Amino acid sequence: MNSLLERLRIRRLASTFTILATLSAGILIGSVVAHGVKGQESKVDSSDATPLKIPSPRDLSTDFTKIAKEVGPAVVNINTETLPKEQQQGRKRGGQRFRQMPQNPDNNGPGDDDDQDQDQGQGQGGQGQGGMQDFFNRFFGMGPDQGQPDDQAHAALGSGFIVDPKGYIVTNNHVVDKADRIYVKLASDPDGNGPGHPAKVVGVDKATDLAVIKIEADRPLPTVRLGNSDSSQVGDWVVAIGSPFSLNQTVTAGIVSAKNRTIEGGPRGQFQHFIQTDAAINPGNSGGPLVNMAGEVVGVNTAIFTQSAGYQGIGFAMPSNTVVDVYNALVSPAHKVVRGSIGITFQPTVSSAVQRVYGAKSGVIIRGVQPGMPADKAGLKPGDIITTINGRSIKDGDDLVGDISARKPGSTVQLGYIRDGKQSTATVSIIDRSDMEKAQGAGPDEDEGAPGGGADASQSKLGITVADLPSNAPPSLHGVLIQSVKAGSFADEIQMSGLEGYVISSVNKQPVHNKAEYNAIIAGLKSGSDVVFNVVDPQHPKDGGTLLGGTLP
């Protein structure tokens, strides 16, 4: 029986193959008949075909074309090199160690003041760690900390534009930060002429992420025309020019999609109020110009909002009016930007309920007063509401910042404020903001792009971000909590990477109970100092901890 079924199955398959073969042959024959093709024998008479011709060039110039031709010659490519530490410091380490690839190149961890704003200002819309900042990336192309071994020179890539025919160039601070060598390629330079023209840093301003560099030129160089960024409006067409992915003189277009955009919370965002654009900006565009339809530079392309480290439709440019002020300060004999301060922190925005309870329709509520600073000496206290400066009403924190930071250190202002519903006045001196930061143990070099702000001296000297212990910590545990360790930093070198969540209970045998004590100890450390940490596992505090240390370079 089974043998019979098998023969029937084979017969059906044979029949099927016969049908398919017949259909295939029919299709082939039909194709030959339809097209008159039989192997290579048939030929088509094409004597009546008209040959194609390349038409004469046509000038299809648009405003974008004119802008690219006009501005392009003044846009430069910037390459930098960071030498290995062995060459920088003249010391050697055993073996080769690779740096970890950071998830966010500029995210060194939040400070404990992420939600605070100093008197230098804070714009609306700033967000701290875990919000927009999670995806906010500055962009080099190749940054110095991106997974390269320490014994190799690191190369970075960015853009810039010439503002003075003598060779003065505006770019981003993060393009040239920590670079040992800077080279500039002009648009007129032939390909293959080496790294470019050597450049020197004239000055940098970390608060706005701007820098001025200079090359020596044997002839006047082409320059851009600066525009008034205040005249830019949402919806205006703009053009971005730069070197994304090392592709020189790349031009993209978009519109101004927002103005006065603050994207970092805390002191880091105090002077960064960007023009937002959807012109395509990618790694390597940093420092390049954002140009309006009049061919005027209205911004410096600085950052992107991204989840992939590439273009996703949102870029940010520092307004040209800010650039002008910073540039003039950096090319001055002091080569730095001096900003006024009175030594307070404040709450940038308050609800209507808070305004009603505190009896103020406008003004700035003081959150903290730095001991020994001018505001403290003038008698101001947390909870006071600053309402006027020299009789002029203050609208918000940005207004306060703009006024105070523009004043010269040594001058005084008359502040009107409300305390317990009563109006009072105080004469307050202005000091240099950098002096206040030094007194706080957090100078302008406190971090290299860390979000939030309010970072302590530990970040700049050691590469560690710390915070006070949470309220539910065991009573027997004291110290500060390690939040993050920067790759390639001193702390990383002494094997503290991976100890996030552990507790530093002492520094150089000095017990630490809170961040203030910790900062005071760190502030006293100098180059060449031995530093020893006692690091405790909070899950096993009775184990006594581990001693980790080294000598500060």
Among the listed residues 229, 286, 341, 497, the single catalytic one is: 286
Residues 264/274, Cβ–Cβ less than 8 Å: no
Instruction: Report if pTM > 0.85.
Output: no
Helix or strand (DSSP H, E) at 490: helix 490-493
**Which of these CATH numbers, 3.40.50.10490, 3.40.630.10, 2.30.42.10, 3.90.190.20, describes 340-435?**
2.30.42.10
Is 174 among the residues known to form the active site? yes
Q: Are 255 and 276 in contact (CB under 8 A)?
A: no
Q: Where are the alpha helices (DSSP H) in 61-130?
A: 63-71, 85-89
CATH number of 456-551: 2.30.42.10
Sign of CA dihedral 271, 272, 273, 275: positive
DSSP collapsed to 3 states, 345-373: EEECCCCHHHHHHHCCCCCEEEEEECCCC
Instruction: Output the six-digit token pair for 142.
Output: 């190749």
Tokens 């690219």, residue located: 68
Give the span between the Cα atoms of 404 and 365, in whole angstroms. 15
**Average pLDDT per block of 10 residues along the chain, 553 residues long:** 49 45 42 49 83 86 88 93 59 25 30 38 35 37 39 71 97 91 91 84 94 94 95 94 85 93 72 90 89 95 74 86 95 92 78 66 82 91 89 87 90 92 92 77 39 49 86 84 86 85 88 89 85 85 77 84
Catalytic member of 209, 278, 399, 447: 209
Topology at the third CATH level for domain 61-86+120-337: Thrombin, subunit H (2.40.10)
Measured from the Cβ of residue 179, the count of other Cβ atoms closer than 10 Å reads: 22
The predicted-structure confidence for 57-77, as pLDDT tens digits, reads as follows 887 778 899 999 999 999 999
Q: Give the 3-state secondary structure of residue 275.
A: strand
In angstroms, rounded to a whole number, what is the distance separating the alpha carbons of residues 269 and 261?
Answer: 10
pLDDT of residue 361: 74
Could you give the C-alpha distances from 445 to 5, 101, 387, 431, 450, in angstroms and in order? 88, 22, 32, 19, 11
Q: Is 209 a catalytic residue?
A: yes
Torsion of CA 141, 147, 151, 153, to 10 degrees: 0
**pLDDT score recorded for residue 543:** 66
What is the DSSP annotation of 38-69? -TT------TTPPPP-PPPP-----HHHHHHH
Q: What pLDDT was estimated at residue 331?
A: 95
pLDDT digits (tens, 9 = 90+) for 321-347: 999 999 999 999 989 999 999 988 876
Q: What is the pLDDT of residue 541?
A: 77
SS3 460: helix
Distance of CA 169 to the CA centre of its chain: 20
Residue among 335, 317, 334, 330 nearest 226 (CA): 317
Domain boundaries, the chain: 1-32, 61-86+120-337, 340-435, 456-551
Question: Given 106, 119, 154, 174, which residue is catalytic?
Answer: 174
The rounded distance, in Å, linking the Cα atoms of 405 and 298 is: 23
286 included as an active-site residue: yes
- Do 340-435 and 456-551 share a fold? yes
